[in-house]
Amino acid sequence: MVVPFVLLILSLGAAVASVFLWGPVASAPLLLALICAVGALFLLVLAPRRSRPRWIVVDGSNVMHWNDETPALETVGRVVEALQGRGYAPVVWFDANVGYRVGQRYMGPRPLANALGLPERQVFVAPKGTPADPLLLRGSDRLKARVVTNDRFRDWVEDHPQVQEPGFLVRGHVRGGAVRLELAE
């Protein structure tokens, strides 16, 4: 959006400069400047407006248990896909022990993001010894986003009273591969 605007200003400036230098005649620089100005105006008018992402925070450590109480990244992946299908941009938070819950080793944001098909910047792992809950709630505050979880965050109500607001916490489950979310649009 900025580039077409700058191009328009430069083109109009070149057209004005051409008129001052050669007068109001159809000179090559004037025609070129006007063609560029029309092109820039066309880009400005028809350029798709980039909307702000509809962020939603996913409590990955909770969601990974939604399918038969068995921790699995595939479960989180299904929920992420369902959210993306509804136009949301999910940000997923995990406790530090996620790698040991779904595998045999520590897993950081990069392997988790790869497993979930998300950019690394949308996947977070709480530092060892730090619960992810207050971090993901702070993140949801910054993004002005709801949280997908079945947790009620009772330990964090005092610092994050929004957890008690209707619709802030999006509950759900996965059964037979089908994702069900209580997501009022």
**Domain spans in the chain, listed from the N-terminal domain onward:** 2-46, 54-181
- pTM for the whole thing? 0.74
Q: Report d(CA 185, CA 179) in Å as an integer.
A: 16
pLDDT in tens, 145-182: 999 999 999 999 999 999 999 999 999 999 988 999 99
Instruction: Indicate whether 3 pLDDT > 90.
Output: no
pLDDT in tens, 41-81: 888 787 666 678 999 999 999 999 999 999 999 999 999 99
- Where is average pLDDT lowest: 21-35, 81-95, 120-134, 169-183? 21-35
Domain 54-181 has CATH 3.40.50.2300: no
Q: What per-residue confidence (pLDDT) applies to 48?
A: 66
When computed from its CA atoms, the radius of gyration of the chain, rounded to whole angstroms, is 25
Would you say 80 and 117 are in contact if contact means Cβ atoms under 8 Å apart? yes
Would you say 126 and 93 are in contact if contact means Cβ atoms under 8 Å apart? yes
In this structure, what token pair is assigned to residue 110?
Answer: 């990069």
- Where is average pLDDT lowest: 11-20, 40-49, 87-96, 124-133? 40-49
